[in-house]
Structure 1
Amino acid sequence: MLNKPTWPILAVTLGISLTACKVLPTPSGDSGGAAAFNPDKMVEALWAAKVVPYLQQKAGPFPEVHALAKTDPAAAGVKYGNPNKQANSPWTFAVRVDGKIVAANTGSRAATMDIDVDGDGKADARVQIGPAMRGTALRDSLDFVQFNDFTNQIDFAQFGKAFNAHADKTVLSKLPREALEGRTAKVLGAYTLEGGQDLPLVTPAEAEIGPRP
């Protein structure tokens, strides 16, 4: 059981089971009942205790996950993602990417590296390394976080962005940015199955880059 979060007027129910995450406003003795919403604090409280263990347990090797996702997205979502997602939302999968960096774009804030996972010299997945990152794949892969637990769409969106910010602060900002091509990379993260993508876009929760060859 987690210790009670420290933000003043927000209670987050975090059971031992990875099946519930309620975000409930509670009365504040200081503000006459106003509610505060702090997604960064919420993600910080969840990260090590629930998010990373969940991804470690749920993630599959990228080739296996992506092959199933292309043929049967729903089956892949049940096995590797959040089967309780909103019906109109795309499937999102927890994944492990392990391979060689064949290209890197670190000239912008939306930095990425392209990973070859099958040894054919061609990129199979694109990994975001920030600090600016697209999407909310980390949030959307979690089966204990649901839209109905939040007051509105804005809060839910901010909560999703807070995962990216926390990953950047704790993991991605520490990665090397020079001479990445040819190095190995190991990533634990999530990606959303979307049409029109050049490569599956993976958002990391954990990432490791090997030494220069």
Structure 2
Amino acid sequence: MSYKKIFQFIGLIACLNLLTACTVTDLDADGNPIIPKDPNAAVSFADFTLSEVADQLWEPKVFPEATQEFTPWESIKSQLDAQQIDTKQSFFVRLDGTIESVDLGKMRGAITIKVGDTNIDLQVGRIIKGNAIRDASKYVLFDDFKNQIRFAQISREFNNRAMASVGEPDSSWVGEKATVIAAITIDQNTISDAVPMQIIRGGK
């Protein structure tokens, strides 16, 4: 066998090995290659409905974060007393106190809980204002949403889930001690919005 044929034979073997090592890519109905998703790629909610986004975040991330990684009320209270929270901030907080009043309306209502010497109004009802839950969570990022509108609207989904978790308060709650997990927004050293996410009642 001539050297030329030997080199041709070696080249053919090398090409066959390369073809064998290649991964065959599946094609879609239009004949385009189907590229598998990168498991390490960042999650984007661009193609999800708002309800689906809330499903992805509430139970797996936001609610556990609120109940396990809250800021102690004593820490927030000391900052308020010292006039240290002069920029708008939101926190998850645990409140241990006594329910002072339950004021319900058709659309809006409030539960007032007394924690130490401070009365805090917790929003309840069908309409909850503000973005306290969204802004308190480290898992809700603007870049994961298509636009500012959807980022704003996700608060409504979180608020709906918070109200479902809280249940239906009534006047019989007044005077009871309670432990509340809430999201609160503080603006200019004043609590502007507070949304209960969990209320555990226990004994008068």
Structure 1, gaps ≥5 residues long: 1-12, 26-35, 75-88
Is contact 2:57-2:139 (8 Å) kept?
no
Equivalent in 62, 74, 81 of residue 51 of structure 1: 62
Q: CA 1:196 to 1:106, structure 2 compared with 1: closer, same or farther past 3 Å? A: farther
Higher relative contact order (CA 8 A, sep 6+): 2
Amino acid of the residue matched to residue 195 of structure 2? Answer: T
Superposed CA offset, 1:153-184 (max 9, x none): 11101111110011122x12x23313332112
Is contact 1:137-1:191 (8 Å) kept?
yes
Q: Tell me how far 1:92 sits from its aligned partner.
A: 0.5
User: What is the aligned partner in structure 2 of residue 115 from structure 1?
Assistant: 113
Is contact 2:113-2:120 (8 Å) kept?
yes
Instruction: Give the Cα–Cα distance (whole angstroms) in 2 for the partners of residues 177 and 163 of structure 1.
Output: 22
State whether structure 2 residue 49 is matched by structure 1 residue 23. no
Q: Tell me how far 1:108 sits from its aligned partner.
A: 3.6
Structure number with greater Rg is: 2
User: What is the aligned partner in structure 2 of residue 131 from structure 1?
Assistant: 126
User: What is the aligned partner in structure 2 of residue 181 from structure 1?
Assistant: 174
User: What is the aligned partner in structure 1 of residue 19 from structure 2?
Assistant: none
Instruction: Give the Cα–Cα distance (whole angstroms) in 1 for the partners of residues 56 and 62 of structure 2.
Output: 10
User: What is the aligned partner in structure 2 of residue 72 from structure 1?
Assistant: 84
Is contact 1:103-1:181 (8 Å) kept?
yes
User: What is the aligned partner in structure 2 of residue 162 from structure 1?
Assistant: 157
Superposed CA offset, 1:14-64 (max 9, x none): 98xxxx974244xxxxxxxxxx44111211222221112211232123232
Q: How does 1:32-43 map to 2 (within 5 A)?
A: 36-43=47-54
Structure 1 stretches of at least 4 aligned residues deviating more than 6 Å after TM superposition = none
Count of matched residue pairs: 166
Equivalent in 190, 193, 204 of residue 201 of structure 1: 193
Q: CA 1:183 to 1:14, structure 2 compared with 1: closer, same or farther past 3 Å? A: farther
Structure 2, gaps ≥5 residues long: 1-37
Is contact 2:98-2:113 (8 Å) kept?
yes
Which structure dedicates a bigger proportion of its chain to helix? 2
Instruction: Give the Cα–Cα distance (whole angstroms) in 1 for the partners of residues 78 and 42 of structure 2.
Output: 30
Superposed CA offset, 1:81-126 (max 9, x none): xxxxxxxx821111011100112211342111111111x5xx5211
State whether structure 2 residue 91 is matched by structure 1 residue 93. yes
Amino acid of the residue matched to residue 93 of structure 1? Answer: F
Q: CA 1:150 to 1:195, structure 2 compared with 1: closer, same or farther past 3 Å? A: same
Identity in percent: 28
Q: CA 1:161 to 1:62, structure 2 compared with 1: closer, same or farther past 3 Å? A: same
User: What is the aligned partner in structure 2 of residue 86 from structure 1?
Assistant: none
- Aligned CA RMSD, in angstroms, stands at 2.9
Q: CA 1:186 to 1:63, structure 2 compared with 1: closer, same or farther past 3 Å? A: same
Instruction: Give the Cα–Cα distance (whole angstroms) in 1 for the partners of residues 74 and 194 of structure 2.
Output: 13
User: What is the aligned partner in structure 2 of residue 61 from structure 1?
Assistant: 72
Instruction: Give the Cα–Cα distance (whole angstroms) in 2 for the partners of residues 184 and 116 of structure 1.
Output: 9
Q: Tell me how far 1:190 sits from its aligned partner.
A: 1.0
Q: CA 1:107 to 1:179, structure 2 compared with 1: closer, same or farther past 3 Å? A: farther
Amino acid of the residue matched to residue 165 of structure 1? Answer: N
